[in-house]
Amino acid sequence: MADKTIVEAVKKLKESSAERERKFKQTVDLVVNLKNIDLNLPKNRIDEEIILPKGRGSEAKIALFASSELALKSKDVVDFLIKPEEIDDYADNKKAFKKIADDYDYFISEAPLMPTIGKTLGTVLGPRGKMPRPVPPAADISGIVQNLHNTIKIRSKTNTTFHTIVGNEEMADEDIAENVKAIIKRLEGVLERGKMNIRSIFIKTTMGPSQKVM
């Protein structure tokens, strides 16, 4: 059950955002501000993936590096398929691959292709935190993809302020609040001093004002 104070914050956010009519469905983002933590030390940086209990509001987009059997089995499961013979082409055209890296949220690869991907496309995927998850060539990736569809990533790098999606404005208040609660719980678990390292947390719609959660 989501915290009542978070539910109330979501309600206020929607009320303030509803003052202007928009022709698109707004996302709801969570903005986190940390304090009293040295993010220049890699061990203190946040780099977590969280499966949102109520989903993202729109599924994450998944790309797959695969050949033969895995490619055939997964073509209707993933959003984008990259075959082995295309890897060198993208390595020669990094501009095109950077667009793909930005357009897709998560990457999966059959394990034997990982060394090639690391050498050719790692400079694009690595800094974005999108190196592929390796799987065996004969794997059934439907379960992995289903989880990734509802997964968000929180990365602080060296910034004490960072954000992530927690849903969209059409989701139930309680569902958004439950997603927010799941992220806060994870943050408190991985931060050196837990809640004491959190300065403030806000939720915000795409075009609307923010609302403080804590």
Residues 132 and 88 in one domain: yes
Residues 69 and 140 in one domain: yes
Q: Domain boundary at 133, 148, 163, which?
A: 148
Residues 49 and 93 in one domain: no
User: What is the rounded distance in angstroms from the CA atom of residue 32 to the CA atom of residue 39?
Assistant: 14
Q: At 37, which CATH number?
A: 3.30.190.20
Residues 70 and 122 in one domain: yes
Provide the strand spans (E) within the chain.
27-34, 47-51, 62-65, 80-82, 106-110, 133-135, 151-155, 161-168, 198-205, 210-212
Residues 79 and 134 in one domain: yes
Report phi then psi at 169, rounded to 5: -65, -15
Bridge partners (DSSP) listed for residue 27: 168
Residues 66 and 28 in one domain: no
Residues 186 and 205 in one domain: yes
| Confidence at residue 109, expressed as pLDDT on a 0 to 100 scale | 97
Q: At 108, which CATH number?
A: 3.40.50.790
Bridge partners (DSSP) listed for residue 63: 80, 107
Residues 164 and 196 in one domain: yes
| Confidence at residue 20, expressed as pLDDT on a 0 to 100 scale | 63
Report phi then psi at 145, rounded to 5: -65, -40
Provide the domain limits for residue 162. Answer: 4-57+152-212
| Confidence at residue 22, expressed as pLDDT on a 0 to 100 scale | 65
Q: Domain boundary at 113, 148, 183, which?
A: 148
Q: Domain boundary at 148, 173, 197, which?
A: 148
Helix axes 173-190, 4-17, angle to 10 degrees: 120
Contact 208, 17 (CB under 8 A): yes
| Confidence at residue 44, expressed as pLDDT on a 0 to 100 scale | 95
For the chain (214 residues), the mean pLDDT of every run of 10, in chain order, is: 83 80 83 96 95 95 94 93 96 96 97 97 95 93 95 94 94 96 96 96 89 92
Residues 70 and 144 in one domain: yes
User: What is the rounded distance in angstroms from the CA atom of residue 134 to the CA atom of residue 142?
Assistant: 14
| Confidence at residue 83, expressed as pLDDT on a 0 to 100 scale | 95
User: What is the rounded distance in angstroms from the CA atom of residue 51 to the CA atom of residue 69?
Assistant: 28
Residues 73 and 53 in one domain: no
Residues 14 and 72 in one domain: no
| Confidence at residue 19, expressed as pLDDT on a 0 to 100 scale | 61
Residues 69 and 175 in one domain: no
How many structural domains is the chain composed of? 2
